[in-house]
Amino acid sequence: MSLDHALVVSGLRFAYPDGSLALAGVDLLVAVRERVALLGPNGAGKTTLALHLNGLLRASEGRVEVAGLELGDETLREIRRRVGLVFQDPDDQLFMPTVREDVAFGPANLGLTGSELAERVQEALAAVGCEDLADRAPHHLSGGERRRVAVATVLAMRPDLLVLDEPTSNLDPASRRELVAVLHQIPVTQLVITHDLPFALELCPRSVIVNHGVIQADGPTREVLADTHLLAANRLGLPFGMDPHTMLEA
């Protein structure tokens, strides 16, 4: 494997206990610091694929490598540090009395203490523009603030790959713009699961469509979104009036 790749997925197959095939042989390469949108209808296999990247699900066939390390029983702990998964609902990720404690939770479990831990927390909060929220209770924050703090809890682990599951879900337009700006500035490889096609175009130069457990398309986001037949075949669609050829032109 080239060290230029943050993620290598090869021949990944997975079936649920009822026998239904969720992944039917997925191959995916993601370069270091690349931002890739993972698109597809509900039930296409997107989240199932994401859960394989840090070992929450284990495939019957195929392999996963993150930053050159292959997922296996002996590497599971390190893989879970390298792959930061940001859940769709921030409330699934924020459970401590203060933002500072939430962001410190992961590094503290790695054994960090004192000034080293404080520096890690400050670094993560600064990356998402939430330094002033450190002593706030997470449940008192706005939806956009909670989303960015959830990202900070993962960044505090210094992952090699950031996986975001529907990051714009339930965000108002201002919070969505703030999140786009934050993610543009984070120098970490990002795999973004989203139904928000304009968001994919704003953030990710490359998009991959997954459906029926396989990759249906992989290319520049603008080209993928311009293919209306491809989108329709995979139960995807652009907002009314949106033209990917003219959006984001310099």
List CB contacts of 8: < 8 A, sequence separation 6 or more.
Answer: 1, 28, 29, 63, 64, 65
Contact in structure between 166 and 195 (CB atoms under 8 Å):
yes
- Least Cα distance to 217 among 155, 128, 243, 227 occurs for 227
Half-sphere exposure of 201 (CA within 13 A, CB side): 19
pLDDT at 6: 95
pLDDT at 97: 96
CATH 3.40.50.150 fits 5-233, yes or no: no
Helix, strand, coil tally for the chain in percent (to 5): 40, 25, 40
pLDDT at 1: 42
- What's the CA gap between 118 and 176, in Å, rounded? 28
pLDDT at 250: 42
Q: Where are the domains of the chain?
A: 5-233
pLDDT at 19: 85
- What's the CA gap between 114 and 108, in Å, rounded? 10
Q: What is the DSSP letter of 239?
A: P
pLDDT at 249: 56
| Average pLDDT by stretches of 10, the chain with 250 residues | 81 91 94 97 90 92 94 94 94 94 95 95 97 96 96 97 95 95 96 95 96 95 94 91 67
